[in-house]
Chain A
Amino acid sequence: MVDFVAALWREFDVETREHLDAIELNLLTAEGGESIGVEGIALLFRAFHSVKGLARAMDLRGMEVVAHAAESVLSLVRDGTAALDAELVTVLLPALDSLKAGRELALDERRDRPAPEAVLAELKRCFEQLSGGVPLPEENPMVEPGKAAPEPGPAPEIAPEACEPAREDPDVLAYFIELLRSALPIFTRIVTADFAKANIRTETFDTIERIEHAADTMGYHALVNHMHDLRAIVEAAGERRIFPDARKSVLRLLGLIGEVLKEIDHGKNGKDGPVAAGTEAPSADLRRVLGRAFEDELRETYCNFIQALSLLSGESGNHDVALDNDEMLAEDIAGMARLLYSFVLFLNWSRAGNVMLVIEDIFSRVADREVVLGSETIALARSALSTMFGPVVDRDCMPEHWSDISQDVADQLSREFRKSLLDTLNSRRGSLAPIKVGQRFLATLEIKPALLEMLSPENISHLMDLVQVGHIHIYEVLANPEKSPEFTKAFLAWTESQVKPITNRTVFIDGESWFEFLVASCDSPETVFDRVAEIDPAGSFIKVVPCRLKQAPKPAEPGQTAEPDNRTAPTGAPSEAVSGTTPGHTESVMRVRGETVDTLLNQIGEMISLNGALSLSMQDSLVGGALQSLRRGLQMITDESEHPEAEGLIGVVDVLRQYFDKIRQIEGSLTASLARLQEGVLELRVVPVDTVFGRFPRLVRDLARDLGKQVRLEIDGGGVRIDKGMVEALADPLMHMVRNALDHGIESPERRRDAGKPVPATLHLRAFRKGNRVIIEVRDDGAGLDVAVVRRIAVERGLVSATEAARLNDREVCRFIFQPGFSTAAAVTATSGRGVGMDVVWTAVNRLGGAIEVDSQTGKGTAFTLSMPLSAAIQSALIVAADNNMMAIPERYLAETCQITASEVQIVRGQSAILLRDRFLPVFPLTRLLGHPSPGDVPARFPVVVIEDGRQRIGLIVDRLYKRQDLFVKDIHPQLAAIPGVGGASTLGDGRVILILDGDDLFRLAEASVQINADGVGLS
C-alpha cells in the first residue's frame, strides 16, 4: 500500500506537471493575442479539470478548490459566454501559480497548501461578472450540506420513454449505421470458403451478437429477429460450410439487412422515423439511392480489382503464379471480391453474387497456396468482372439502368471458371515443395496466427521431420519459466524429454514476460497434461492447449462454391475456437521511469565492454596462430614418417579452425547487433527540446514586463528530440542566454522606435538536427554587440595584444565575451553589449561536449548557436597512459599530439614550455597535474597531448598514447568524482576501469600550478 501511494505520488508529479505546462503555454499564447482556437480552450479546460481530479485524489483540497474555480471560469469560455482575452489571462495566471506552489508543497512535504483567498476571490468575482451574476458553483453541489448522500439504489433499467430516446440522437444513429456497415462484409463471408476458418467464425458470431445488441438497444426489432435467424443458421452449420438451402437464407437475410440499413439511413435523412423492413426486392427508387451512396466506392474497388488482376498476370513473366508476392496479391483480390460481393448484395443481384463468390473462393485458395493459377483463369476473372460491373463503372450509366447479369451468363461464367481451375489443378498437382506440405499440415490445425507467423522454413522442416517419425500432437504452451527456479528446471527437463519446441515468442502479460511455445509431442493430451500437472501443480506458471484439427477445406474441388450441394459434410473432431486469452494491451505509449532506462543503458554499456573483451581475444592471433603451428607440426610428423594418429589430428585441427572461424563470424554479428541495440536504447532517453523551451514563454513574458520591453517569443523545432540528460543540463545555460538577450540585447520600445525597428522585438528559439548533432539557436533582433567596444575591452583586459586584436575579424572578436574576465566589464553592458556570465554558458556547453558560436551585427541583433551532441552518454576519447594508469582525454579537447625530446623543454618564467609552431606552449606532466608524485627519471622522448578549449592551450606530458575509442560514460562514485581532473569513468574492452579526465578541470589545475610556480619563483 505504501508502495502504491508512493507510485501515485510519482504519477501525480508527472501528470500535474504536464497539465500545468500545457495551461501555461496556452494562457500565454492567448495573452499574446493569438487565438488558441476551440481546441486550445477545450485543452485548457480539460487540463484544469484533470488537475482538479488529481488533486482531489491526493486530498489536496487547496489545489482542488482553485482548479475547480478556474475550470468553472473556463467553462464559460468554452460555452462561448466569455472570451479568453488578456484580462482573463491575468486572472487565470495567479491561479496557475497557486496550483504550481500547491504542487511543489505537496510533492515536497506531502501536505496541502490552502487556497490563497485573494486568488479564489478573484476567480469568483470573475465568474460572477462573466456569467451575469450567477455565483460560482460550490465545489460539490451534488451533496447538499447536512444531508446524507442518497442511498444508492439499484440502477434502474434505461427508461427510454422517460426522456428523448437515445436512438434519436444523431450521433447514436450514425454510429449504429457505421456498425451495420462494418458488419456487412463480415456477414457476407458466411457463405464463402473463409467461413471454415475458426477466427472468421468467431468474428462472425461476435458481430452477430454485437448487431443484435445494438439493434435491440435501438429498438429495431425486425433486425433483432434477422440476427436470431442468422445465428441459428450459422450455428446449425457448425464448422462446415453453409448448406445450400441455408446459403440461400443467408443471402436473403443479408439482402434484408442491407435494406434495413438503407431505410434507417433514409429515415435519418429527414423522412419518417426508422421502420422495420421486410420487403424482398428493393424498388427502383431504393436502388437509385443505394447506387448513389456507393457509386464511387464501387468504381474504385472495381478499378483496383482489375489493376490487381493485371499485376498478377502481367508481371509474373511466365504463365504461372507462384511467388509469395502473388499470394499476397491474391489475398487482396479475394478481399476485394468480398467487398464487391457485399455491394452486389445491396443491389440484390443474386446471380452476380454467385459469380463473385466463385471468384472470391478461387483467389482465397491462391492466397492459401492451395492452387496455382493459370493466366487464362485470370483473364476469365477480368472479363467476368467487366460483364457484371461494366455499366456500374460507366459514369454515364445511371444507377437505375444497372442490372443483374442474366441466368445464362451466370451459368456460363461458372462453368468456365470450373473448367479453367480444373485444368490448372490437373497440371499442377503434386508439385508442392516440402515446405508447402509443412504449411499445409499446420494449416489443418487451430494455431494462433501470431505463433504461425513466427515459423521459419527451418522450423517447418524440423516439424516435418518429426511428423515423418510418427503420429504427433501439436500443443500451444504458455509458460513463465522465470517464476521459480524449481519450475525452470522442471520446465527445461520437460522440453527436452516429452515435447520438442518448434518455435516460440515472447508475450507480455501484466508486465511480466511469458513465453508462448509451439511444441510437438508423440504423447497424447492426457499424458502431456499429467506431466504438466507434475511440474506445475498449481497451474500458475504454465498452460498447455492442444492444437485441434480444424475443418480442413479440401483443396482441389473447383466449382464447389458455385454448386455447394457437391459438398457433403465431413466431420472432424469437434473443435473450439482457440482465441487469444490474454487481454490485449493496446496502449501505444508506455511510460517508463528514467532510472529504468538508465539502468538498462548501463547494462548495455557493460555488454559493450564485455563484447570488446571478446573481440580482443578473438582478434588475438593466439588461437589462430596456435592452431596453425599445431597443424604445421603435425604435417611435419606425417611427412617424415607414416603416422596415422597425427594424420587424424590434422583433421581435428581443421575442425577446430572452422569452429574458430564460425565463432569469429558470430562475434562480428554480435558487435553489429549490440551497436544497434545501443542506438535503440539511446533513443529511449530522448525527450523533445520543448521540455526546456516550454519554460521560456512565461520567463520571457514576466521579464519583459519587468523591464518594460516588448518581446515576441518564437519557438521552432520544439519537437526535436535530444538526450534527457542534455536537456536538463542545457536548461540553465539557455535560461542565461535568454535572460541576457532581454536584459542587454533587446532595446526599450522607445529606442527601437527611434532606430526605425518594429517596436516588439523578436526573440527566436530554434532547434534542429544536423547530422548527429543538435543545433540550438537563440537569436534576437536587438542592438547587437558593439564590436569596437569588445575589441577595446579585450585589449584593456590583456586578453589579446593590440596588434593581434586589430587582426581579428568581428566574429573572432565577439568570441571574447566568453572569456571569464570579460563578464565584469560593466562598460560593455552599459553601452551596447552584453556579457554577464557568458563564460558560465561556455563552460556548461563545453562540459556537455558542445560548442557555442556567437554572431552579432551591431544594431541588428545577436545570434548564439549551440551545437550539441545527441547524447551525453557516449564520448569519444583518446586513451593515454601516465604513471602506469590508463586515462582517457575527451576528444573535444584534443588539438594535436606530438613527440618531444627532453631537451626541447624550456623553462619560461618558471614554467616548463615547448616551442610549438613558433608559440610557447606550457606543458605539464599529467600525473603531476592530477596530484601524483612525478616519476623520478624522465625519458629522453615522450609524447605530449595538446588540449585546448578555444581560450587556452596546454600540453600534457604522458607516458604513452593509445588509440581513440568511444567510451560509454558511467556514473562514478561521488568520492571519485570529487577528485580534481576526473570527469567520469568507463570500462575498456578488457574490462579494466578507466578514468575519463575533465578538460576544464585540467586547465584549472594547470592554472593553479602556474600560480604555484610563479609564487615559488617569487620566493626564491
Chain B
Amino acid sequence: MKKKVLVVDDSLMMRAIVMQIAASDERFEVVGEAANGKVALELAQTLKPDIILLDIEMPEMDGIDTLKRLMLASKAKTIVISSVTRVATSISAEARRFGACAVILKPSGAFSLDLHQKKGHEIVQAMCKAVGLPFDGGENHDDAPALGTASLVLQTAHG
C-alpha cells in the first residue's frame, strides 16, 4: 500500500513542485491537494492521508491554525514546508508544538532540473522518517550542501 500524501499550498506552482517531488518515490502517492487550510482540513478527513505537506503562510486559514486543527482531526504525519526565515525558530517551535514532525525549507532550483537529486531528497527523506520507511536515496546527498541552500531543519523540543 502506497503512503497517501496530501499537499497544501496556496501556490499552484509550489504544489506542482512539491507533488512532483513527493511522487518521485514510488512508495508515496499524492491523493489530494489543497490551496488553503479549510480545504486541507476537509480533505484530511475524507482522504485520510498518511502524510500532509503543509505550507505555513496561506490566506483563509494560515498554516499554524491549520496545524492546530489537523492535529486533532487527522492522524496524518504533518511536515511543514516553509520559506519563513526571519521568525523561523519561533514558527518552527510553534509548528512542532502543534504536531508537525518536521519543518523544511521550500525547495529551490527548478532551473537546474535537479529537483529530485537535491531539494527533493529533503522532502522525501522527511516523509520517509515520518512514516517509518527506510530512506535509501540519500547517497549523493551526503555532501555538505552549498552555502545558502535549503536543508532539513530539525527543531529540538524548545526550538
Contact = CB atoms under 8 A, between A and B. Distances in A.
Closest 10 pairs (CB-CB, A-B): A149-B151, A155-B101, A162-B157, A11-B13, A148-B144, A214-B72, A152-B152, A59-B111, A53-B83, A56-B108
Contacts of A153: 129, 154
22 contacts: A8-B13, A11-B11, A49-B57, A50-B57, A52-B83, A53-B14, A56-B83, A57-B13, A57-B14, A57-B106, A59-B112, A75-B87, A140-B105, A150-B151, A150-B153, A152-B125, A152-B154, A153-B129, A162-B157, A164-B97, A583-B43, A586-B39
A414 B90 CA distance: 61
Interface residues of B, number: 70
Interface in B128-159: 129-130, 144-145, 147-154, 157-158
Contacts of B150: 140, 143
Interface stretch (A170-178, A324-332, A567-575, A647-655): A170-178
Interface string A553-589: 0000000000000000000000000000001111100
Contacts of A150: 151-154
A217 B72 CA distance: 7
Given A4-B20, A584-B43, A148 B145 contact: yes
Given A57-B13, A140-B150, A218-B72, A166 B113 contact: no
Of residues A142, A164, A169, which shows the largest number of chain B Cβ atoms within 10 Å of its Cβ?
A142
A434 interface: no
Given A11-B12, A50-B10, A59-B109, A152 B47 contact: no
B68 A169 contact: yes
Given A59-B110, A110-B111, A155 B129 contact: yes
A158 interface: yes
A538 interface: no
Interface in A149-199: 149-150, 152-156, 158-159, 162-164, 166, 169, 171-172, 175-176, 179
B154 A141 contact: no
Of residues A140, A171, A210, which shows the largest number of chain B Cβ atoms within 10 Å of its Cβ?
A140
Interface string A700-716: 00000000000000000
Contact of A163 (B16, B84, B102, B157): B157
A268 interface: no
Contacts of A58: 109-111
Contact of B16 (A11, A68, A140): A11
A54 B11 contact: yes
Contact of A137 (B14, B65, B86, B126): B86
A143 B151 contact: yes
A503 interface: no
B73 A214 contact: yes
Given A148-B145, A172-B98, A166 B71 contact: yes
Interface string A1-26: 10011011001100100000000000
B157 to A, nearest CB: 3
Contacts of A179: 72-73
A763 B113 CA distance: 49
Contacts of A166: 68, 71, 97-99
A98 to B, nearest CB: 19
Contacts of B3: none
Interface in B1-53: 10-14, 16-17, 20, 31-35, 39, 42-43, 45-47
Nearest to B98: A166
Contacts of B47: 583-584
A533 B88 CA distance: 54
Contact of B151 (A142, A156, A163): A142
Nearest to B79: A155
A145 interface: yes
B85 A139 contact: yes
Nearest to A7: B16
Given A12-B13, A155-B77, 15 more contacts: A15-B12, A50-B10, A57-B14, A59-B108, A59-B112, A75-B86, A143-B149, A143-B151, A149-B144, A150-B154, A152-B102, A153-B129, A175-B69, A213-B72, A584-B32
Interface in A667-690: none
Given A53-B11, A172-B71, A140 B84 contact: no
Contacts of A154: 129
